[in-house]
A and B are shown apart, each in its own frame.
Chain A
């Protein structure tokens, strides 16, 4: 059979593969596969023992089917059998199957490990390699447990074959990456370092990856590798291209090894030994020199390999950041690449120059390339390259070139790709602020930003411009004038209206002297935009109007008239209506003095880290921004780093609150006002809008004296209420690694949160879990606070949120992992993002595991996410209500329950609960004034579900009773709400 391929021809397999390829449709393919699966299954189950070849063939077919994307749930045993075959190809296929399809089936793992153990001790290098490959491919913890101590022995044993050493080194690396705790350092470590001197280049190439990884974690133990690496590198760099025979790649001597050596050196500071350092600098110079030599080959492989080494060398030069000469040479070399015809090189040069820009030695050298980079931003055809150019412009920006760079970025924004606009906007905003010498330029830039890319201007950006204008009185008049002019445009972005409303409300008086911008002109201009704006902006404008009344008494009559008209005072949006009513009342009752005090000019904002910087940092991850913190903003960078690192101490907590939306921050924009102090409360929630992104977690529920913006939605629960309530449960959970079953009182705990969003979910002697949550439409955000009540740290602290059963498809909960250590007395925070896909009944489970004094604690709670959290309150008139009530008259749409009162029937408490439910509480609807009527719409991703509720208390009866009736457009929702609510009263 001459036509068979190398190795083992498996004719049956080839036929099967061609069959699959001949299938005309997906269905035909599935049919063919099912037929084959049935055939294989019967063969495996059959009485006749299969020979090795058939077993191999069938296992290989299963593997092929799996790789096509189908599930395979049998054949593992047969594959394991193949491992112990003495025929190489059978063993090989067995190992391949295991490597690709491993699952942690404990019994099989034992068998597999046995087979591997046999092969490792077989002293047959080919078998040993196969076994090592399998361990490296699977890399599971079970395998690490079984082999982590054996492999180092193989690696350093004197009689081990080179090829086995190579596999052993990388196998150990993989185990170290997955289970570092199981790979113990020891006598072998020093011998591993000396593999850098090995004669066999392949052994060095493999070993150095292991050494690099180990050095990162244990730098002191591996220090000796520096001088060894330098001498090895020096020998390679100075060798002629023919010296290294097969390790020369397109005339470049050992490019992979060179790169890895340079990479290893980046784990350490510059060598202290003068001779070693001299030798290394020589190497780096040689590499830079070689870049200038004419290429030895026209092939792209030659230049890629050569440049790979060059870029790695430049990374090392930047890492050392101590050789001005080398830094400038590196910069010049990259400058040449900026105009290279290879897109790849231009991309890498832009990327690498970004880090060079942060070095004080090369910052100026980088700046000389500004024109080329601007040109790249304008002309590159590939968006990823343009993105790099924008990054570099951002990194090279300083006072001397800020105006030019900001102008270029602004003009690029007009045509920029959608994918990078938001980031560009943030960058422009940051640069404009950071390098603003005159603040009128800053104001112009931000307003331009809103004009050009209003949709991409996040709240942080416009909050920030307001903070700055408030804090700098030299720019207020200019800001008022500019924003007034910007508002003249027939179509202006809503963000412009927000900034305009705010600034004119505060500083409109500064331009009121000019008849072209007299108070009434200003008001009419603002009000002409009112009807085109969303609710939050309208609310902001209403606050601006009341400020106008204070600033310009002559506008009082006009504005009162506006407030008084039905569309305001009877607005269906509760927030707008309330503002209109209260502002109208305030303007007519309060004396001028009171008005002037209440509506006083905003006090300066406390100086704080720019919220925009925090946002960009969040977007790009740590490190991306710190590059730019060159001179004047070192302080800021420090704060930022503190913010990113969520330490357990309270200072760090506060910092992290500043960089991420704080728990008390207001997702709902305006609704749940979080007054920061009495003076500021006066300004109404206009101010809170601005504060909400940075307000510290403190007094979110300090009720304002004048009761103006009393928060209807939020029960009076303070954020530091972690010390109230809590269940008495104190026993440690069963010491099992599996998530514990939910606590018996989990449902009870859940019920406490049906009508409120904040409070203590759980408490025992060790741990306290507090919750703050906010919901908007079908989205929610929940902050969990885990407090360690003991004085001992919790180790391996981990939490898992799961949606059991069908809930998985109904609710989407995303969480970030928490810090594994919780110090005694400390508290850590976790944020969950929740999306309601469709209506649901069950609650997601929260499993918490940690070690306290060695004992595993394991407990599971229900997260208080209930369907009513996604309510939007709906206001409606009596006639509307009854009309809808009638429309929902199908029997399954209604759910009713009559039950005994568990709590007192106090009217205020009942009202608070019904409001906490999330619905609108409607007055004057039910003919019986004792009854409560509510309406709301549940927002899910896919649909909206209208719900009407009626609660009839019977206080007269001997036993106080309620009758609760729900009618919803979806029957399951009626039932679920009825169940939930019956527990509440």
Chain B
């Protein structure tokens, strides 16, 4: 895989991961071009397209597009499932993940991705093992109640803004949260 991009339906880039060396200028150009191309496609169209000499594999989850660029001999369908597995990992970690989780905890999204994919290749495909690695890392933290961390997944608030440590009365965030369906809602029906 050469790179992975996450962007919203409005074209805002939420996460970018590059596995080939490119200048910032090139990255911006590629991002702009691809976001435009992918957003212009209709829902029932196929998830693959040829772009320059690469193959683009993308899929939409709720308001977010996940888009990977792979090389000619790479497998499109398995890449589609790489995307899905990543969504599952995010979902399991955040508990019903939505776009806001990725905005407010972007660093976590990167850490999870690094455990799953490294250098553009699948490193660990077991969901349990990836999450174990992340949980272990979380456990290494100081001055935090260990017990709470371990079971945080069950006890956390449903409000992503609050999870991120934001103010509950922050109207804007709540407003958006209502309108951002959890990605996982789509996970179930697929």
A: which residues have CB within 8 A of B? 1-11, 14-15, 17-18, 21-22, 60, 63-64, 67, 69, 71, 87-89, 92-93, 96, 100, 126, 129, 132-133, 136-137, 139-140, 163, 166-167, 170-171, 173-174, 177-178, 201-202, 205-206, 209, 246-247, 249, 254-257, 259-260, 263, 266, 299-301, 304-305, 307-308, 311-312, 315, 343-344, 346-348, 381-382, 384-385, 387, 621
Per CB-CB distance, the 6 closest pairs between chain A and chain B, nearest first, are A308-B77, A174-B119, A308-B78, A88-B140, A170-B118, A209-B121
Instruction: Evaluate contact between A170 and B121: CB separation under 8 angstroms.
Output: yes
Q: Are A18 and B166 in contact (CB under 8 A)?
A: yes
Question: With A and B bound together, what is the CA distance between A305 and B172 in angstroms?
Answer: 40
Give the interface centre of B46, B133, B166 by most chain A CB atoms within 10 Å: B46
For residue B140, which residues in chain A have a CB less than 8 angstroms away from its CB? Answer: 88-89, 126
A300 neighbours in B (Cβ, 8 Å): 190
Whether B30 sits at the interface, judged by CB under 8 Å, is no
Q: List 20 A-B contacts (CB under 8 A).
A: A2-B157, A4-B165, A9-B165, A10-B165, A14-B165, A88-B140, A126-B140, A140-B21, A166-B118, A170-B118, A171-B119, A202-B125, A205-B122, A206-B121, A209-B119, A254-B125, A343-B47, A344-B77, A384-B49, A387-B50
Known: A14-B165, A206-B118, A300-B190. A343 touches B44 (CB 8 A): yes
For B105, B152, B172, the residue with the greatest tally of chain A CB atoms inside 10 Å of its CB is B105
What A residues does B164 contact at CB under 8 A? 5, 9, 14, 17
Taking a contact as CB atoms closer than 8 A, the residue among A8, A21, A167, A382 that contacts B45 in the complex is A382
Binary contact readout B102-146 vs A (1 if CB under 8 angstroms, 0 otherwise) = 011111101100100011111111111100010011101110100
Partner of A247, one of B126, B136, B157: B126
Kindly report which residue of chain B lies nearest to residue A380, judged by CB atoms. Answer: B46
Residues of A within 8 A of B36 (CB): none
Separation in Å of the A909 CB from the closest CB of chain B?
Answer: 47
Q: Are A344 and B47 within 8 A (Cβ)?
A: yes
CB distance from B171 to the nearest CB of A (A): 9
Are B13 and A381 in touch, CB under 8 angstroms? no
B80 contacts the other chain (CB 8 A): yes
Contact of B118 with A136 in the complex, beta carbons under 8 Å: yes
**Contact, CB under 8 Å: B166 / A15:** yes
Contacts of B128 in A (CB 8 A): 246
Residues of B close to A170: CB separation below 8 A: 118-119, 121, 123
Complex Cα distance A15/B172, Å? 12
Give the residues in chain A near B121, CB-CB below 8 Å: 170, 173, 206, 209
Q: Which residue of chain B lies nearest to A342 when distances are taken between CB atoms in the complex?
A: B46
In the complex, are the beta carbons of A87 and B142 less than 8 A apart?
yes
Q: How far is the CB of B176 from chain A (nearest CB, A)?
A: 8
B126 and A382 contacting across the interface, CB-CB below 8 Å: no
By beta carbon, the residue of chain A nearest B173 is A18
Question: Is the interface on chain B under 10, 10 to 19, 20 to 34, or 35 or more residues?
Answer: 35 or more
* B33 within 8 Å of A (CB atoms): no
Whether A312 and B173, one on each chain, are in contact in the complex, defined by CB atoms closer than 8 angstroms, is no
CB-based nearest A residue for B45: A382
Which A residues are CB-close (under 8 A) to B81? 249, 255-256, 301, 304-305, 308
Which single member of B19, B110, B170 contacts A18 (CB below 8 Å)? B170
Q: With a CB–CB cut-off of 8 A, which chain B residues contact A382?
A: 42, 44-46
* Alpha-carbon distance A826/B30, docked complex (angstroms): 38
B190 close to A299 (CB less than 8 A): yes
The complex places the Cα of A22 from the Cα of B166 at a distance, in Å, of 13
A contact residues around B50 at 8 Å (CB): 384, 387
**CB pair A246 B127 closer than 8 Å:** yes
A301 contacts across to B, CB distance below 8 A: 81, 84, 190
Say whether, besides A6-B149, A18-B170, A205-B123, A88 and B45 are in contact (CB < 8 Å). no
Known contacts A67-B106, A201-B125; 17 additional CB pairs below 8 A are: A4-B163, A4-B165, A5-B108, A8-B144, A10-B165, A18-B167, A67-B16, A136-B119, A201-B126, A246-B126, A249-B85, A263-B75, A304-B78, A308-B77, A343-B44, A348-B77, A384-B49
Option from A21, A133, A381, A387 in Cβ contact (under 8 Å) with B103? A21
* B48 contacts the other chain (CB 8 A): yes
**B10 at interface, CB cutoff 8 A:** no
What chain A residues lie within 8 Å of B13 (beta carbons)? 67, 69
Within B68-93, the residues touching A (CB, 8 Å) are 73, 75-78, 80-82, 84-85, 93
CA–CA, A173 to B123, complex, Å?
A: 12
Known: A22-B172, A255-B78, A304-B81. A92 touches B118 (CB 8 A): no
Question: Knowing A133-B114, A133-B118 touch, does A88 contact B123 (C-beta < 8 A)?
Answer: no
Question: How far in angstroms is the closest Cβ of chain A from B145?
Answer: 9
CA distance A894 to B120 in the complex (A): 60
A163 to B28: give the CA distance in the assembly, Å. 33
B131 → chain A closest CB, angstroms: 10
Q: How far is the CA of A960 from the CA of B16 in the complex (A)?
A: 68
Q: How far is the CB of B6 from chain A (nearest CB, A)?
A: 11
B63 located at the interface, meaning its Cβ lies under 8 Å from any Cβ of chain A in the complex: no
B26 within 8 A of A: no
Contact present for B125 and A205 (CB under 8 Å): yes
Q: How far is the CA of A343 from the CA of B106 in the complex (A)?
A: 33
Q: Which residues of A contact B162 (CB under 8 A)?
A: 3
Q: Which chain A residue shows the least CB distance to B189?
A: A299
Chain A residues, CB < 8 A from B19: 174
Measured in the bound complex, the distance between the Cα atoms of B176 and A88 in whole Å is 32
B147 within 8 A of A: no
Closest to A11 in B: B165
Q: Tell me how far the C-beta of B116 lies from the nearest C-beta in chain A, rounded to whole angstroms.
A: 11
In the complex, what residues of B have CB within 8 A of residue A205's CB? Answer: 122-125
Identity of the chain A residue whose Cβ is nearest the Cβ of B85 in the assembled complex: A249
Q: In this complex, which of B44, B124, B163 has the most chain A Cβ atoms within 10 angstroms of its Cβ? A: B124
- Chain A residues with CB under 8 Å of B129's CB are 163, 202, 246
- Docked complex Cα distance between A385 and B118 (Å): 31
Interface contact B107-A60, CB-CB below 8 Å: yes
Q: Which residues of A contact B126 (CB under 8 A)?
A: 201-202, 246-247
Residue of B nearest to A621 (CB): B53
Which of B45, B162, B173 neighbours the largest number of chain A CB atoms within 10 Å of its CB? Answer: B45
Chain A residue at minimum C-beta to C-beta distance from B135: A6
With A and B bound together, what is the CA distance between A171 and B49 in angstroms?
29
Of A100, A139, A173, A344, which contacts B76 at CB under 8 A?
Answer: A344
Q: Does B9 contact A (CB under 8 A)?
A: no
Q: Which of B45, B110, B123, B127 contacts A343 (CB 8 A)?
A: B45
Partner of A171, one of B85, B111, B118, B173: B118
The verdict on A263 contacting B114 (CB below 8 Å), with A11-B165, A343-B44 known, is no
Once the chains are docked, how many angstroms separate the CA of A126 from the CA of B160?
Answer: 28
Q: Do B133 and A64 touch across chains, with their CB atoms under 8 A apart? A: no
Nearest opposing residue in chain A for B56, CB measure: A384
Would you list which residues of chain B between 7 and 57 have a CB under 8 Å from chain A?
Answer: 13, 16, 19, 21, 24, 28, 42, 44-50, 53
A14 to B166, CA, bound (A): 6
CB distance from A397 to the nearest CB of B (A): 21
- The interface residues of chain B lying within 8 Å CB-to-CB of A308 are 75-78, 80-81
Q: How does the 8 Å CB contact mask read for B150-190 relative to A, with 1 for contact and 0 for none?
A: 00110111000111111110101100100000000000001
Q: Knowing A133-B118, A247-B125, A384-B45 touch, does A88 contact B141 (C-beta < 8 A)? A: yes
CA distance A205 to B117 in the complex (A): 11
A428 to B128, CA, bound (A): 53
CA distance A2 to B118 in the complex (A): 33
In the complex the two chains form, what is the Cα distance from A900 to B24 in whole Å? Answer: 51
Give Cα A348 to B164, complex, Å.
41
A312 x B84 contact (CB < 8 A): no
